[in-house]
Amino acid sequence: MWYKPYGKTGKQVSVIGFGAMRFPEPDNIDGMAELVLANAEALSGVVICQALEPGRPLIFNMGFAHVMDMTTAMMRTGGIENALLHAAGAQIACFHKLPSASWMSTESCRMDAGAGYEYAQTGIMDAVNLVNVIWGVGNLESTKCMSPEMAVIGNDIAGAMLRAREGIRVDDDTLAADLIAQMGRNAEYRTEQHTLDHFRKEYYFPHVTNRRSRSAWEAAGSPDIVDEAVARVRKLAAEPVRSVVTEAMRPKLLKIEQRWSQVLT
């Protein structure tokens, strides 16, 4: 096993349960069998990891769910059935008292409305079911290709997901009953200190999603979200590169890369 010589780092590892939902007939979505198989696979990985390195931190990843489309025999990753499996996997991980992982995905081969809605339907199910690690921003065609522009669109979607996950805070401060009584019929809340203290925390401000009126949007050249994403990628690419890799880490990473290049070739 490669794990034995190369895996003992003490770092958290993601253990994947990789079942595949089948559709034997149109009205029989075999989701329960998928969950049983994926749970068994992930649990076996947990046992192996703990036998080789007791106490190693793990992520119980049943969120890498694939669903077979019986009309094409292709595995899908962005469907609503995938999202349901993500949610169930997170709940099973919680039952095992382990952190969970999942992804936002799409079968779209380009940035389009299909990519956006599949990102949203998989991602929001992950967020509201409290998946601990959510990845996939920037992928297209079931992660066969990656797009910087889709990454910034996905970043907007991810930000909205996290805002949905936070919910609405309800306490004496946010209810603002005293302020409402004080304002009476005066509906001008925009200049009140209470508004200024809270609106940045309560509102999510996306980077490439249009929030302008039609006249302002037309004055800006009527850009769609892809145009905005292309412009943002160019802006970010022009900024100074900020590497998270330290000079001490760089030779170690290059050594690992060279070793595995030799092994794999």
Which position has the token pair 């003490």?
Answer: 10
Q: Could you tell me the pLDDT band of residue 5, with boundaries at 50, 70 and 90? A: low
Q: Residues 28-41: pLDDT tens digits?
A: 455 577 788 888 88
Q: What average pLDDT does the segment 57-62 reach? A: 89
Does the pLDDT value for residue 117 go beyond 70? Answer: yes
pLDDT for position 9: 64
Q: What average pLDDT does the segment 134-152 reach? A: 92
Q: Which pTM does this prediction carry?
A: 0.79
Q: What is the mean pLDDT of the chain?
A: 86
Contact 107, 67 (CB under 8 A): no
Q: Which residues contact 136 (CB under 8 A, 6 or more apart)?
A: 103, 104, 105, 119, 122, 123, 143, 154
pLDDT for position 27: 44
Q: Residues 224-260: pLDDT tens digits?
A: 999 999 999 999 999 998 888 888 999 999 999 998 8
Does the pLDDT value for residue 17 go beyond 70? Answer: yes
What does the DSSP 8-state code read for residue 25?
B
Please tell me the distance from the alpha carbon of residue 10 to that of residue 204, in angstroms, as a whole number: 37
Please tell me the distance from the alpha carbon of residue 46 to that of residue 15, in angstroms, as a whole number: 7
Q: Where are the domains of the chain?
A: 7-167
Q: Which amino acid does the sequence have at 199? A: F
What does the DSSP 8-state code read for residue 220?
T
Three-class SS state of 250:
helix
Q: Residues 174-193: pLDDT tens digits?
A: 898 998 888 888 778 888 88
Query: Dihedral (C-alpha) 227, 232, 233, 238: value to the nearest 10 degrees?
Result: 130
